[in-house]
Amino acid sequence: MTVHTTADIHPTAIIEEGATVGADCKIGPYAVVGPEVTLGANVELKSHAVIAGWTDIGDDSTVFPFASVGHIPQDLKFAGERTKLEIGKKNRIREGATISPGTEGGGGLTKIGDNNLLMMHTHVGHDCIIGNNNVLANYVGIAGHVIAGDNIVMGAHSGIHQFCRIGSGAMLAAFAAVVEDVIPYGTVSGNRAKLDALNLIGLKRRGHSKDEINALRAAYKDVFHGQQGVLRERALAALQTYPDSTLVADMVEFMTSDTNRHICTASKV
């Protein structure tokens, strides 16, 4: 066990032999840190937070009461293999949240980036790869093998089917049931979720220019509301029509890359 001399550990907390606790960490009452856990500098575990398994948590992260981080995945195929959970810096994991490590069949790693907010009772399943600066509102459920980019807002009670991809800058409405891939900067809603429009507010907040946004809006209309060819053909055509648009290139690359799911499309009008 390695505990930095500046760590503040409540007498009722349990730090198991083998754990690593970094500088200026604060471990609250009845919190538990397992034997293969590594906490970076200035990590705070509130009372009754439990960190288990082969789990790394980056600097300046906070885990709130009754969160369960790193316990074995909810996968009946899991056979006790040693797999990992990596959580980056400046994450806030709120009350009752659950995060699972990977499985051997899924690559052995669940990874969460930096500066994410996981609100109360959210769940991130095994073998997920989650980016940076995302907001998961209360009761969001992410099934196994999901890949999510950066700057995504997931509304309360929304759920994501296994093997789906969520593009950067997307927005999921509350109660959205996502069973298909969501394009970057797309907004989706409903059960089963359909593409409503682009996340224009998110685009503006990220500092994209009016010209960039207008190009993406035009390409979006061509791809998802066009009449000629199939979806993939229209996406590739948009890339030719707007060759200088990085946003269009990101959308088309996402749509034409390998995936286990269909692309979420707009409702027919």
What pLDDT, on the 0 to 100 scale, is given for residue 1? 75
22 in any annotated domain: yes
Confidence class for position 60, pLDDT limits 50, 70, 90 = very high
With a cut of 80, say whether residue 259 has pLDDT above it: yes
For residues 47-51, give the mean pLDDT. Answer: 98
Considering 53, 144, 155, 159, which one is annotated as catalytic?
Answer: 144
Q: Report the percent of the chain where pLDDT is more than 70.
A: 99
What pLDDT, on the 0 to 100 scale, is given for residue 227? 87
Considering 56, 59, 75, 127, which one is annotated as catalytic?
Answer: 127
Q: Is 230 found in the same domain as 118?
A: no
- Written as one letter, the residue type at 43 is V
Considering 126, 145, 161, 208, which one is annotated as catalytic?
Answer: 126
Which of 103, 154, 157 has the alpha carbon at shortest distance from 130?
154
For 213, the domain range is 203-256
With a cut of 70, say whether residue 230 has pLDDT above it: yes
29 in any annotated domain: yes
For residues 68-89, give the mean pLDDT. Answer: 97
Model confidence over 115-162: pLDDT tens digits? 999 999 999 999 999 999 999 999 999 999 999 999 999 999 999 999
Of 126, 145, 164, the residue at which a domain comes to its end is 145
What pLDDT, on the 0 to 100 scale, is given for residue 149? 98
For the chain, the average pLDDT equals 97
> Does the annotation count 144 as an active-site position?
yes
With a cut of 80, say whether residue 25 has pLDDT above it: yes
Q: Is 7 found in the same domain as 139?
A: yes
Of 145, 160, 178, the residue at which a domain comes to its end is 145
DSSP for 13-29? -EE-TT-EE-TT-EE-T
Q: Is 135 found in the same domain as 219?
A: no
pTM of the model: 0.95
How many Å apart are CA 234 and CA 225, to the nearest integer? 10
Model confidence over 219-228: pLDDT tens digits? 999 999 998 8
> Is it true that the peptide bond before 234 is cis, omega within 30 degrees of 0?
no
57 in any annotated domain: yes
With a cut of 80, say whether residue 17 has pLDDT above it: yes
For residues 197-201, give the mean pLDDT. Answer: 96
What pLDDT, on the 0 to 100 scale, is given for residue 89? 98
173 in any annotated domain: no
Model confidence over 27-48: pLDDT tens digits? 999 999 999 999 999 999 999 9
How many Å apart are CA 198 and CA 222, to the nearest integer? 13
Q: Is 140 found in the same domain as 223?
A: no
- Written as one letter, the residue type at 222 is D
> Does the annotation count 127 as an active-site position?
yes
CATH number, position 15: 2.160.10.10
What pLDDT, on the 0 to 100 scale, is given for residue 21? 98
Of 105, 125, 145, the residue at which a domain comes to its end is 145
Which of 52, 74, 78 has the alpha carbon at shortest distance from 63?
52
Q: Is 141 found in the same domain as 37?
A: yes
229 in any annotated domain: yes
With a cut of 70, say whether residue 269 has pLDDT above it: no
Asked if 30 and 11 count as a contact pair (C-beta separation under 8 A), the reply is: no
For residues 199-207, give the mean pLDDT. Answer: 95
Q: Determine the Cα angle at 222 with ends 218 and 226, to 5°.
A: 150
Confidence class for position 67, pLDDT limits 50, 70, 90 = very high
